[in-house]
């Protein structure tokens, strides 16, 4: 599942949005892989992630971080706001040599720089060619920028609209509104810090 692809945004607001995934290859290196994914998350936690997630349980806004780590299985995720942090995490991962595949999602040039900082080179890319078909059905771009941070579409359009309304009316801070959205994303790839900035911008319109 390419759940961390198609994150909609501008160069400017995507510059603070990096998702890291870690997973085994089924049938090749997946035997007893849980402890390796737990180790990945523990390494991630050392670098103050904006979110972490284990899909069978949830993320650090729906559950306690230590419970998310315990639930690591299949695929795990972490989110950061700076390429330098990605470099630092990758350096630690290199040292740990878990043998699991790692994918980084973000602006290509920024990610490549982050990789270079850890002495790594990109191997395979997944490009987003955008949204095709009956695009009239789509909500506005400002909603999409927030909702597409959950690749499984678990952040409903109408809920994002409610949060924008609440922020506009002063009932919630952008941060509180982002944190109300965050628990819905089962994988934990939703970036509440970026969401708060986007909600604040949308509320100003």
Partner 1 sequence: MATQLNGSTGKVLRVDLTSSKIWDDALDEATIRRFLGGTGLGVKYMTDLVDPKTNWSDPKNIFFIGSGPLGGLRIPGCASVSVVTKGAQTNGLTSTQSNGNLGAHLKWCGYDAIVVSGASPTWKYLYLHDGGVELRDATRFVGKDTWRTEEAIKEELGYKERTMSVFSIGPAGENLVKFAGIFGDRGHAAAHNGVGAVLGAKKLKAFAVARGTKKVPVVNQELINELGRQTTEVAKTFGGGNVYTWGTSRVVPGAETAGWLPVKNYLTNVFPEKDLFDGARLRSLFKSTNYPCYACSSHHYELMAITEGKNAGFAGKEPEYEQWASMGPQIQVKDPADVLVIANLVDQMGMETNETGWVIGWVMECYEKGALTKKDLDGLEMTWGNVSAVMELIKNIAHRRGYGNVLAEGVKYAAEKLGGEAVKWAVFTGKGGSPRGHDHRGRWVEMLDTCISDTGTLQTQMLINNKEIWDMPAPFDIFNPDQVALAEANSTGSMTISDCLVQCWFCAFNDTKLQTEAINAATGLNMTIDEVKKVGRRIINIMRLYNLKCGLTPNKEVPSFRYCSTPVDGPNKDKGIRPHWENMVNKYYQLMGWDRSTGMPLPETIKALGIEDIAKKFK
Partner 2 sequence: MRIDPDVCIACEACVPYCPVEAIKMDDEKGVAVINQDECVDCCVCLNSKVCPVDCIIFEPQPWPRSLRVTFSNPRTGHKETRIAGRGTEEMKTNDVTGRFKRGWIGLGLEFGRPGIGTRFRDLEKMAMALAKLGVHFEPQNPVTFLMVDTKTGKLKDEVLNEKVLSAIIECAFPIEKLKDVLNTMKKVAKEIDTVFSVDCICKADPDGSYPVKKILAEAGITPYVNGKQNVGLGRPKAKEE
Q: How far is CA 83 from CA 110, 115, 183, 192, in A?
A: 6, 9, 25, 17
- Measure the CA–CA gap between 124 and 5, rounded to whole angstroms: 14
- Measure the CA–CA gap between 83 and 88, rounded to whole angstroms: 9
Find the length of the chain. Answer: 205
Q: In angstroms, give the least distance from the CB of 165 to partner 1.
A: 9
- Measure the CA–CA gap between 47 and 45, rounded to whole angstroms: 5
Q: In angstroms, give the least distance from the CB of 112 to partner 2.
A: 8
Q: Is 169 in the site for partner 1 (CB under 8 A)?
A: yes
Non-local (6+) Cβ contacts of 182 within 8 A are: 51, 59, 61, 62, 190, 192, 195
Q: Is 46 in the site for partner 1 (CB under 8 A)?
A: no
Q: In angstroms, give the least distance from the CB of 82 to partner 2.
A: 15
Q: Which does 171 bind (CB under 5 to 8 A by kind): partner 2, partner 1, none?
A: partner 1
Q: In angstroms, give the least distance from the CB of 175 to partner 2.
A: 19
Nearer to partner 1, 99 or 170 (CB): 170
Site stretch for partner 1 (CB under 8 A), options 72-80, 84-92, 164-172, 187-195: 164-172
List of residues contacting partner 1 (CB under 8 A): 169-171
């Amino acid at each position: 599942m390419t759940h961390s692809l198609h994150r909609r945004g501008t160069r400017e607001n995507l510059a603070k949005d990096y998702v890291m995934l870690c997973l085994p290859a089924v049938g090749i290196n997946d035997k007893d892989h849980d402890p390796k994914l737990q180790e990945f998350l523990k390494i991630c936690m050392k670098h103050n992630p904006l979110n972490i997630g284990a899909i069978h349980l949830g993320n650090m806004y729906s559950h306690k971080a230590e419970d998310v780590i315990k639930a690591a299985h299949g695929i795990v995720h972490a989110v950061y706001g700076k390429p330098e942090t990605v470099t630092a995490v990758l350096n630690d991962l290199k040292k740990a040599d878990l043998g699991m595949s790692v994918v980084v999602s973000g602006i290509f040039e920024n990610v490549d720089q982050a990789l270079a900082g850890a002495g790594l080179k990109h191997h395979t890319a997944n490009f987003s060619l955008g949204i095709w078909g009956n695009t009239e059905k789509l909500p506005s771009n400002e909603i999409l920028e927030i909702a597409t941070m959950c690749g499984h579409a678990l952040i409903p359009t109408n809920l994002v609209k409610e949060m924008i309304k609440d922020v506009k009316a002063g009932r919630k801070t952008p941060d509180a509104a982002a944190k109300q959205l965050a628990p819905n994303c089962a994988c934990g790839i939703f970036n509440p810090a970026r969401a708060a900035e986007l909600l604040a911008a949308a509320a100003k319109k």
